[in-house]
A and B are shown apart, each in its own frame.
Chain A
Amino acid sequence: MFLSQINLDVKQGEFLYIIGKTGTGKSSFMKTLYGDLPLTEGSGNIVGYDLVNLKENDIPFLRRKIGIVFQDNVMDDKLSVRENLLTRGILYHNDRKIVKEKVDSIIATLKIDSYESQYYGELSGGQRRRVDIARALLHSPEILFLDEPTTGLDPSTRKLIWETMDALLKEGLTIILTTHYMEETMNCDKVIIMNNGQIICSDTPEQLRVDYSNDVLKVIGNLGEIEKLISDYQYELHQDYLKITLNETTDSIELLQRIKKHVEAFEVLRGNMDDVFLNLTGTRLD
């Protein structure tokens, strides 16, 4: 996947999501951000490094400022959590005393002390993910990259991972992650939507929702009669309900007044990121 026209500005302490279907370049984009792939078009500046003119000698310094959590679990199954962290830690610090202090601190912060002596291969998916995050924090990076950190995890474990992220955000860490779980994007600072190796759009989730999706009024009742009264609106007729597209959320008030005699039940559905993605790319994410 080749990237093109990547223009991005990331501020300290921001929480960014990168959304895109599999194969659209999310992982390539992440690799460009940590210097594994060259950026040949567009512009990119991260932790003070120009990604277009990034020199080979600059890459180690760039990577000292970045922590990466891969989508795959990349630690040793037959080493304990502590052993894994100490082995990786020494590669950053080369001083056993500093590494031990760092590992002790991160284990306490991320609350993984209850299984630090267990083999990594014996941990659950969620436990492994937290250990992966611990590993990415060993060198106190300024930015944390996570590639689909909650994929394959059950909802309760995903919630646990989010609590971990929240705690890190409160400490001022900048977090950039890729996902295809749309519902996770509502609490971030910025959403970046990618398609075919390009950034299609980049804005706050709320603004994207306002610009690229519509609220919908879902009504159940005498659908035939209701249809006669809403000719000035776009709608979808389903077997048991109607979905009426609203220009503004407040339109629902006037509309309900109009059709209330024939309505048994109704619900206002807010436009969501699935709709944003569909309207921007023409396809659904899943």
Chain B
Amino acid sequence: MNMFIDLTKRNIKLYLRDKSTVFFSLISSLIIIALFILFLGRVYIENTESAFSDFGTIERSSIQALIFSWILAGIIILNSINIPQMILSRIILDKEAKITNDFYVIPFKRSILGLSYIASSIVVGTIITYISFLFGEAYIYIISGELFSFYTHILILGIIILCTTSFSSLMFLIYLFVKTSSTIGGLTAFTSSVGGFLAGIYISIGGLSGLTKDIISSNPLAHATALVRGVLMSSQIETIFKGVPAENVKGFSDGMGLNLYAGTFQFTNLHYVIGLFAVAVICFTISYFKLKNDKM
């Protein structure tokens, strides 16, 4: 157990002491915040105000908080992908620096080394993502005076742990096939950009149509985002749109990607959770069999 703990601590220290790596882990989130401030937020806020203008006055600050919660969910999911991705790049960096050669001549179980990489990814990913959620909540409090309930915090923390575990397993598997650190940069750019679209962060999935919408609605990233959005926004929607016809509220939820569909089939929170859990199980299983015969 000491070996596992110390190797995990080692990986965490190396990540936190590399300021550029930490910065690039968070850059996608910073870009989203910038987009929100510059124009994205204004567009969604004005559209929402206009859509519900027939149903009485809704406080602008409440809509701002609601839309920012929508954005915040995206930030949480992006962080739960990008931070594990950056911290797990340690696998490649260790190989390139031949540090893995040093570990290999020490007689201890290789599985402890692999598990330590994953554990450090889950621990750091969870902590930093949760901290980013707290910063987001602070902003919502500033603009609306509202805080999330303790129960919401527990749910969000649970979802963050599930997401970082799931995406850590995915990135761990991917990195087992990566040979050089030059690939890491490209991979990061790819996951940040493509991941953002797949998760419905840059463009709402509800705004898409046809097969594209069905396919994107079926991927784990979209499910993770919908899960977080549901937790953050449900009680806000209930409060803000009190007295608004249910079909209008559903239209808003569908349009903002809180409800996901594949054709006429609607996914539920249980599907989201099982899907993310399945990603973790499948990726860890494949990784296990790959490592059984190969070195890391």
Contact = CB atoms under 8 A, between A and B. Distances in A.
Interface of A: 34, 36, 59-61, 63-64, 66, 68, 70, 72, 74-76, 78-79, 83, 86-88, 90-92, 94-96, 135
Nearest to A138: B106
B53 interface: no
A76 B102 CA distance: 11
Contacts of A59: 107
B7 A92 contact: no
Contact of B7 (A34, A36, A63, A87): A87
A83 to B, nearest CB: 7
A74 B14 CA distance: 14
Nearest to A94: B2
Contacts of B265: none
A96 B9 CA distance: 14
A91 B105 contact: no
A132 B30 CA distance: 41
B179 interface: no
11 contacts: A59-B107, A72-B98, A74-B97, A74-B102, A75-B99, A76-B14, A79-B10, A83-B13, A86-B6, A91-B6, A92-B107
B190 interface: no
Contacts of B3: 90-91, 94
A75 B102 contact: yes
B107 A64 contact: yes
Given A59-B107, A70-B98, A72-B98, A78 B17 contact: yes
Nearest to B103: A91
Q: Determine the interface band of chain B, counting residues with CB < 8 A from chain A.
A: 20 to 34
B106 A92 contact: yes
Identify the 3 closest CB pairs spanning chains A and B, nearest first: A60-B107, A74-B102, A78-B17
Contacts of B101: 70, 74
A90 B99 contact: no
A99 B2 CA distance: 11
A70 B97 CA distance: 12
Given A34-B105, A76-B10, A78-B17, 8 more contacts: A60-B107, A61-B107, A64-B107, A76-B14, A79-B13, A90-B6, A94-B2, A94-B3
A76 B98 CA distance: 10
B18 interface: yes
A135 B13 CA distance: 19
Interface string B1-31: 0110011011001100110000000000000
A60 B109 CA distance: 10
Contact of A91 (B9, B13, B106): B106
B108 interface: yes
A46 to B, nearest CB: 14
Contacts of B14: 76, 78-79
A74 B6 CA distance: 17
A130 to B, nearest CB: 16
A136 to B, nearest CB: 9
Nearest to A96: B2
